[in-house]
A and B are shown apart, each in its own frame.
Chain A
Amino acid sequence: MNSIEKKSQIVAGIDVGSAMTKVAILETKEIIAQAMSPTLADPRLAVKLALEKALQEVNLSQNDLGFIVTTGYGRRAVEFGNQVITEITANAKGARFLGSPLGQVRTVIDLGAQDSKVIKLNENGEVIDFIMNEKCAAGTGRFLEVMAKTLDIKFEDLGEFSLKSKNPVKINATCTVFAESEVISLIVQKKKREDILAGLHHVIAKKIADLARAVTPKEVVFFDGGGAKNIGIKRSLEEELGLKIYVPEEPQFVIALGAALIASELLHANARS
């Protein structure tokens, strides 16, 4: 394969999220590399770092990319992309592509750092409705991050830790600020941390389920975003919705993957025209 042909086959999807920037590189619809980098205050730098990391893995340079689609809240911060797409469309695309062993995906729930969203798909996998959380941080990853600090548990360990709980505490507040003080008073009352945590997972799951109900979700629910790695939330959400939920292997890359898939479609569409 000569280099021009090779280039035309390789595309990238870049998901500039509020916390993490993720990159997926595809060659003829096959993931060949992915990487991420914290977005922090500089989305441009994050994109550069994540993209370099991913390209290095497969010994390529940016010039080898035939098409780049950017998505996520910082989607317009990337100057060199060929097309901008919203995370809704990208997410649906990624989820549809990965599918689920539990049956056809009809709902996608994404729990990101700063927002959560629910996408409804029809039998053909097309987006027919979607909803995103309102301004506040309740029901997003940020909420859990704050709580992890308050409880002094590592963010990555939250899920497993909560499984130890036998007696989840009922937490009333959904606002991040109020919930934090409620958690502090529970700690003072010597409640077990795993029980508090399980209660918090329940709060988030309830918030997301409320959001999801607005679009009348159907099975199978495809659960992704960084938050989907938390097994505690997945279980609470299953309970709350009463629907089968599937979490893909690397839930935080689904949107970047979707963007890359769209990139490869657009590449071919352009090549044809």
Chain B
Amino acid sequence: MANEVVMFKKIFKKLKEVELKEKGFEKRYPLKRVSAFEKKEEFKKIFLEQGERNLELMQKIPNRAKNMAYFDEIWKLEKRVKEIEDFRKAGGKVIGTFCNFVPEELIYAAGCLPIRICAGFYETIEIAEEILAKDICPLIKSSFGFKLVELPYFSLCDLVIIPTSCDGKKKLGEILSDYLEVWPLELPNTKDSSQSKEFWFQEIKIFKKRLEKLSGNEITFSKLKKAIELCHLRQVVFHRFDEIRQSTNPLISGRDALLVTQVSFFDDLRRWTEKTKKLCQELTENIKKNLGIYPAQTPRLLLTGSPIIWPNYKFLNIIEEFGGIVVGDTFCSGTQHLYNPVEIDEWVMEEMLKAIAERYLLPSICPCFIESNDRIDNLLQMVKDFKIDGVIYHQLRLCQLYDLEFYKVKQILNRENIPLLRIQTDYSQEDIEQIKTRVEAFLEMIKSKKYEFY
């Protein structure tokens, strides 16, 4: 009996060791890198042009908040790239992340800089297709392409962390590992079972250790506390921002709101918080002055589905140029990215780590988990809070997860009599006319319901 206990303990210890092993890709079969580096300047130019084209439209919106000027400038690479280069020269490590599962608090606490590198740029897709399968979603191809042409911000990353979310992301890691260091962050398939939570908690602990090793900085209690507080402050400001969008007098376009959110992917944390706070103050003033950007009866839309990422705002441009306004979204590249703060019950290391683990797992509505109920809850709640007239389901072609979740979402929204339009598209411009017709018809349908017209 005693023997068995000893043996059991041994096995258990062994298991623990295995569990805590750092995950990575061994270079058993290294492959030659393909590089399109020479084309960098060309791509950069097109990237900036596309952004400019969006901005031209966005800047024409009447009563647009003056404080948007900061965000209009900062995405233009130059300034921020320089800052990050300086940060690296001083020995700082830049960590590229995918999805919204990678705890930024820990990265900041280790003195490193997180940058989300999910991309929305059409031009880098083709070169990525030389390596990646053609039949995967444009987001993954586009992001990988950034590495091939060494475009910022991917080019500035010392390593990349890829959560094992959807299949495309899972397999991207191994391919990328020939180009730079990649850490997979292993997600459970469910969120709320105790095994899942425990598994994820271990994963976060390993992550912390690795960060310490990488940066040479210990993540101390006070550093982590500071980082949690800084991110918390950002989230508080973001909450205010989100709340403002609930106003029945539309004050900010969906495009501007998404741009603000996506600038946070790479911007300086404190500065972003400061600038967004200012923007919120201006918008609050605008409420009092009744300075809406669109007429109050403009159909209010909620976007859900696959992420939309700058500069691929074609879909948003169509919606808002044709008389709708996007007042909310459930995108991991939008509201979901910044919505949830880490909530600490007890300021001790273990509890802080637990709270971080929870913040990045439990509120997620990513379709990579086996159930879609949380996403549906979120949708229905937002429809109420944001006084939504219709939901648009944006589905990137070849994104199977969102495709699969559509059926249930549709049935539920139908049952609740919430108008729903699905648009299947990618990053190319070729289907713009078709999308226009569908979106316009959807807006007409809403208007006729709202005003008994047509």
Contacts and interface: CB of A to CB of B under 8 A. Distances in A.
Contact of B445 (A73, A88, A262): A88
A132 interface: yes
Interface in B428-443: 431, 433-434, 437-438, 440-441
B437 A86 contact: yes
A130 B419 CA distance: 10
Interface residues of B, number: 17
Interface in A168-199: none
B391 to A, nearest CB: 12
A126 B434 contact: no
A265 B441 CA distance: 18
Contacts of A129: 414, 419-420
Contacts of A86: 437, 440-441, 444
A265 B419 CA distance: 24
A73 B441 contact: no
Nearest to A69: B454
B247 interface: no
B424 interface: yes
A265 to B, nearest CB: 7
Interface residues of A, number: 17
B444 A87 contact: no
Contacts of A262: 454
Looking at B445, B449, B453, B454, the one whose CB has the most chain A CB atoms below 10 A away is B454
B448 A89 contact: yes
A141 to B, nearest CB: 17
Nearest to B448: A126
B441 A126 contact: no
Interface string B10-31: 0000000000000000000000
Contacts of A126: 445, 448-449
Contact of A89 (B414, B431, B434, B441): B441
Contacts of B420: 129
Contacts of B445: 88-89, 126-128, 130
A135 interface: yes
A127 B434 contact: no
Nearest to A134: B424
A93 interface: yes
Contacts of B453: 265
Nearest to B437: A86
Contacts of B444: 85-86, 88-89, 127
A134 B440 CA distance: 17
A132 B448 contact: no
Contacts of A85: 444, 454
Contacts of A93: 454
B390 to A, nearest CB: 11
B244 to A, nearest CB: 31
B369 to A, nearest CB: 26
Nearest to B440: A86
B299 to A, nearest CB: 14
Looking at A73, A129, A265, the one whose CB has the most chain B CB atoms below 10 A away is A129
B437 A89 contact: no
Nearest to A85: B444
Contacts of A130: 441, 445
Contact of A132 (B414, B434, B449, B454): B434
Nearest to B447: A89
Contacts of B419: 128-129
A135 B431 contact: yes
Interface string A241-255: 000000000000000
A86 B441 CA distance: 6
Contacts of A88: 437, 441, 444-445
Looking at A93, A127, A262, the one whose CB has the most chain B CB atoms below 10 A away is A127
A12 to B, nearest CB: 17
Interface string A81-98: 000011111000100000
Interface string B205-237: 000000000000000000000000000000000
A89 B454 CA distance: 8
A158 B444 CA distance: 36
A118 to B, nearest CB: 12
A73 B454 contact: no
Contact of A73 (B414, B433, B438, B449): B433
B440 A127 contact: no
A216 to B, nearest CB: 9
A265 B434 contact: no
A30 B225 CA distance: 75
Nearest to A216: B414
A27 B323 CA distance: 30
A134 B453 CA distance: 28
A3 to B, nearest CB: 29
Interface in A69-127: 73, 85-89, 93, 126-127
A230 B433 CA distance: 28
A89 B434 CA distance: 15
B448 A87 contact: no
A264 B437 CA distance: 22
Given A86-B444, A89-B448, A127-B448, A265 B454 contact: yes
A54 to B, nearest CB: 23
A255 to B, nearest CB: 12
A194 B362 CA distance: 61
B434 A135 contact: yes
Nearest to A91: B441
Interface of B: 414, 419-420, 424, 431, 433-434, 437-438, 440-441, 444-445, 448-449, 453-454
29 contacts: A73-B433, A73-B437, A85-B454, A86-B437, A86-B440, A86-B441, A87-B437, A87-B441, A88-B437, A89-B441, A89-B444, A89-B445, A93-B454, A126-B445, A126-B448, A127-B441, A127-B444, A127-B445, A127-B448, A128-B445, A129-B414, A129-B420, A130-B441, A130-B445, A132-B434, A132-B438, A134-B424, A265-B453, A265-B454
Interface of A: 73, 85-89, 93, 126-130, 132, 134-135, 262, 265
Q: 6 closest Cβ contacts across the A-B interface?
A: A88-B441, A86-B441, A89-B444, A127-B445, A86-B440, A89-B454
Given A129-B419, A130-B445, 18 more contacts: A73-B433, A85-B454, A86-B440, A86-B441, A86-B444, A87-B437, A88-B441, A89-B444, A89-B448, A127-B444, A127-B448, A129-B414, A132-B434, A135-B431, A135-B434, A262-B454, A265-B453, A265-B454
